[in-house]
Amino acid sequence: MEQTWRWFGPEDNVRLPQIRQTGATGIVTALHHIPYGVEWSVEEIEKRKALISADASLGLRWSVVESLPIHESIKIGKGDLAPLFDTYRASLRNLAKCGVRTVCYNFMPVLDWTRTQLAYALPGGGTALRFNYHEYVAFDCFMLERPGAEEGVSDEVMAKARAWYKASTEESRNILLANIMAGLPGAYDRYDVPGLRKMLALYGEISREELRENFARFLREVIPTAEEVGVAMCVHPDDPPRSLFGLPRIVSSAEDLDFIVKAVPSPANGITFCTGSLGAGAHNKVAEMARQFAPHVKFAHLRNVTKDPDGSFMEADHLGGDNDMVGVVVALLEEQKRRRDAGNDNWRIPMRPDHGHELLDDVGKPTHPGYPIIGRLKGLAELRGVMQAVSQLKGLPL
């Protein structure tokens, strides 16, 4: 698998020479400064490519776009969407012209990944990302005051949520809001409580089925263009794979992934297989899903989580946690061999270590939450060892 690294662009405190020291050669990045719904021009794409390749001795290339965002109006499915679809297709054509042909994206309404703690203390002084279900419930019920937020919440969790809110200060409530907003990467908007209420209201009574149809419409509009220009689109799963703030989630299970790949059958309609996002759902058996959907996987995020019975979870060591990471690696390496044997020139699947712990000298540094260099380097080294061992033992190409 091609070893890649997420880089947030020239403002990222992790620099390109440091990334090369990790052993990664593929860069995963996006033009975060361009607003949603605005075309990515050839000029802007080439400018980012030039930054990545400026030092030829590093041997780095822009391997994957993460993400080419979808305007919220497309997800809602209202208004004149034709210009937005035109713009998205134009961006895909421009990326293809510049030789960037793998595009990760998501269809999560309003928010991307969601955590309630960004610096959960680990033994020895490191930190991890964590989702505490009772803190999320406290936010939803008592800060956001969303109608119906208490539905489906157990008495035990509600009691913990109420106790947390009662003991909270204005500062701790502001920290919780900031933590929940931190999953919006780059320069995207953050919401205060009134702003989040306003965004949620835009979805009104949109059902899971309606959101699914809006997604299928997006696929019908853009996948033919992606196939025409040789771009692989790969949807990222919901994180976590459950409804949040009353919003439906539609990329959360094997049944969801099956719906997506069948909605518009095409080699351009693929999946970003994120073991951490899918693995945060007790209903998902991640290694089995990797085998089931391997032919559709265009990009892999490899990380692990440890789940609690109440629905909370924490980012674990890459080879720790609840997910069978070795089983996932075997499935992906076997799929690579199938592609190579079938004569596919682009048979390698790009992968990256995801959401590392904050460790050693990284503790307290101003990096994007979940993206310190040392924790991800540790994860990549562990995953590289697994890939090498599996490759030698089973005779599979790396």
Residues 190-237 have pLDDT tens digits of 788 999 999 899 998 899 999 999 999 999 999 999 999 999 999 999
Active site (annotated) includes residue 301: yes
Which pLDDT belongs to residue 85? 98
Active site (annotated) includes residue 203: no
Alpha carbon of 241 to those of 100, 112, 199, 210, 278: distances in Å? 29, 11, 20, 18, 6
Please name the CATH architecture into which domain 2-114+200-394 falls: Alpha-Beta Barrel (3.20)
CB 35 within 8 A of CB 14: no
Which pLDDT belongs to residue 189? 63
Q: How far apart are CA 355 and CA 5, in angstroms?
A: 11
Active site (annotated) includes residue 371: yes
Element (H, E) at 106: strand 102-106
Which pLDDT belongs to residue 184? 65
Alpha helices by DSSP H, the chain: 16-21, 42-53, 72-76, 82-97, 133-138, 155-167, 170-181, 193-203, 208-229, 254-263, 275-279, 286-293, 325-341, 373-394
- Phi first, then psi, for residue 304 (nearest 5°) are -135, 160
Closest CA to 1 of 377, 339, 357: 339
CA 211 to the chain's CA centroid: 19
- Whether the model clears a pTM of 0.85, i.e. scores above it, the answer is yes
Residues of the chain with pLDDT under 70: 184-189
Which pLDDT belongs to residue 187? 46
Catalytic residue chosen out of the listed positions 71, 355, 357, 362: 355
Q: How far apart are CA 94 and CA 159, in angstroms?
A: 53
Q: How far apart are CA 138 and CA 321, in angstroms?
A: 26
Q: How far apart are CA 216 and CA 27, in angstroms?
A: 29
Catalytic residue chosen out of the listed positions 165, 274, 296, 318: 274
Active site (annotated) includes residue 236: yes
Which pLDDT belongs to residue 191? 85
Q: How far apart are CA 125 and CA 211, in angstroms?
A: 42
DSSP 142: I
Active site (annotated) includes residue 274: yes
- Tokens 């699914």, residue located: 212
Catalytic residue chosen out of the listed positions 88, 105, 120, 236: 236
Catalytic residue chosen out of the listed positions 317, 354, 357, 362: 354
Catalytic residue chosen out of the listed positions 105, 133, 203, 371: 371
Active site (annotated) includes residue 354: yes
Which pLDDT belongs to residue 183? 77
Residue-wise pLDDT for 39-51, tens only, equals 999 999 999 999 9
Catalytic residue chosen out of the listed positions 134, 301, 318, 357: 301
Instruction: Give the count of beta carbons closer than 10 Å to the beta carbon of residue 181.
Output: 18
Q: How far apart are CA 71 and CA 222, in angstroms?
A: 13
Closest CA to 253 of 217, 277, 223: 277
Alpha carbon of 190 to those of 136, 193, 281, 298: distances in Å? 17, 10, 26, 30
